[in-house]
Amino acid sequence: MIAIVPRLFWVGWKFHLKGLTMSSFFLLVSVIQPLIFATIAYYMYEAGAREGTLLYVALGAGLMGMWSSTLFGSGGAIQWQRWQGTLELLIGAPPPFIFTLLPLTLATASIGLYSIVATLLWGGLLFDVPLSIEHPFLFAVSLPATALALGLLGLVLASTFVLYRQASAFSNLLEYPVWLVSGLLIPISLLPGWVEPISWVLAPTWGVKAVRESALGGEPLFAIGMCLLLSAIYLVIGWFSMANFERLARKQATLSLT
């Protein structure tokens, strides 16, 4: 039984990643949207004659894309599974639903890695962004660590959305706030003081720190560690939520779109 789970995860992750890659919506969210925001940010920096490296912007915009794909992929995926008629099949399968859902949310975060690649290439080609990475190895580690943390946050999102049909409307609402509060393009220090503690519990905050400090120089290890810690916390929350929600969904008959 224990041996089955890693394989289940691997197969599930690959399967959903492939499906998401084929979706024009995710092309929009994980490639086009970050590029547009990166471009807007570049021009704003030019207009304001802001000093500082554009690599900062590229990575920030890339992470914005990663958040969007996680948000819409995980929150939206439950609804999408419903419409597709596959939610019932996933819940009706033997494994606990969390084992079928988690590979899906991890895949939505992994799609976000396309965003980082896209914004780096875009910046390098069109805006002469210098693509030199200070700590390449740590950079390579911080990317999956970020994807893991975001994927697990996606699990928490999904477990909240699994019961409610109108959840996708709320998912729209979480895009900008998280971008703001996580300091992806704007340092948190610019925001009111009470925002900072909120940022500490959000995966993107530590993800962008890990990625940026390994690229631009700094102490990424702490941020990577926080990503892993948050991952564990999200997993626990998701675990408990999932059990409860599955039972409620069976009771209230909201598994399929009737």
Partner 1 sequence: MAVIEADNLRRTYSTTTGVIRRRRLAVEAVRGVSFQVEDGQLFGLLGPNGAGKTTTIKMLITLLLPTEGTARVLGYDVVDDSREVRKRIGYVFGGDRGLYERLPGLDNLKYFAELYGVPPREQKKRIEELLELVGLTGREKERVEGYSRGMRQRLHIARGLLHDPQVVFLDEPTIGVDPVGARELRQTIHTLVESGKTVLLTTHYMFEADALCDRIAVIAKGEIVAEGTPSDLKNRVRDGKVVEIEVYGIADATVQTLREIAGVRAVNVEEREQAQLLVVQTETDVELTHTLLGHLNGSNVGRIAAREPTLEDAYVALVSEA
Partner 2 sequence: MTEVASPTSPRTLARVFFLGGLFSYRALFNWITPVMYVTTMLGSPLFQILFFAYLGRFAGLQDDTFFVVGNAIQVSAMAGIYGMTMTIANERQFGTLSPLLATPASRIALFLGRALPVIVNGLVVSAFGFAVGLLLLDFTLEWSAVPPLVVVVVVTVASCTALGMLLGSIGLRARDVFFASNLVYFLMLLVCGVNIPVETLPDWLEAIGRAVPLTHGIEAAREIAAGAPLGEVSDLVWTELGIGVAYAATAFLLFRLFEIEGRRRASLETF
Question: Quick one: 166 or 252, whose CB is closer to partner 2?
Answer: 166
Q: Nearest distance from residue 234's CB to partner 2, in Å?
A: 23
Q: What type of residue sits at position 20? A: L
Residues 13-32 that bind partner 2 (CB under 8 A): 24-25, 28, 32
The count of residues in the chain is 258
| x/- map, 187-226, partner 1, by CB under 8 A | ----------------------------------------
Asked if residue 11 binds partner 1 (CB under 8 A), the reply is: yes
Residue written as tokens 């971008």? 179
88 binds, among partner 1, partner 2, none (CB under 5 to 8 A by kind): partner 1
Q: Which residue from 47, 194, 197, 258 is in contact with partner 2, where contact means CB under 8 A?
A: 47
**Under a CB-based contact definition with an 8 Å cutoff, are residues 101 and 90 in contact?**
yes
Q: Which residue from 84, 86, 132, 172 is in contact with partner 2, where contact means CB under 8 A?
A: 172
Single out the residue of 131, 16, 134, 156 nearest to residue 62, CA to CA.
131
- Find all residues with CB under 8 Å of 146, minimum gap 6, and list them: 63, 66, 109, 203, 204, 206, 207, 208, 210, 211, 227
**How far apart (Å, rounded) are the C-alpha atoms in residues 221 and 209?**
10
Binding part of the chain for partner 1, among 52-60, 78-86, 128-136, 160-168 by CB under 8 A, reads 78-86
Could you count the other beta carbons within 10 Å of the beta carbon of residue 243?
14
For the chain, helix (H) and strand (E) counts, in that order, are: 13, 0
Please write down the HEC assignment for all residues of 168-220: HHHHHHCHHHHHHHCCCCCCHHHCCCCHHHHHHCCHHHHHHHHHHHHHHCCCH
Asked if residue 94 binds partner 1 (CB under 8 A), the reply is: yes
**Under a CB-based contact definition with an 8 Å cutoff, are residues 65 and 115 in contact?**
yes
Q: How many residues touch partner 1 (CB under 8 A)? A: 29
Check residue 130 and give left, alpha or beta (phi > 0: left; psi -120 to 50: alpha): beta
200 binds, among partner 1, partner 2, none (CB under 5 to 8 A by kind): none
Q: Nearest distance from residue 245's CB to partner 1, in Å?
A: 13
Binding part of the chain for partner 1, among 10-18, 49-57, 185-193, 222-230 by CB under 8 A, reads 10-18
Residues 86-125 that bind partner 2 (CB under 8 A): none
Asked if residue 44 binds partner 2 (CB under 8 A), the reply is: yes
Task: Name the residues that contact partner 1, by CB under 8 A.
Answer: 4, 7-8, 11-12, 15, 18-19, 22-23, 83-86, 88-96, 100, 247, 250-251, 253, 255
Task: Name the residues that contact partner 2, by CB under 8 A.
Answer: 24-25, 28, 32-33, 36, 39-41, 43-50, 166, 169-170, 172-173, 175-177, 179-180, 185-187, 190-191
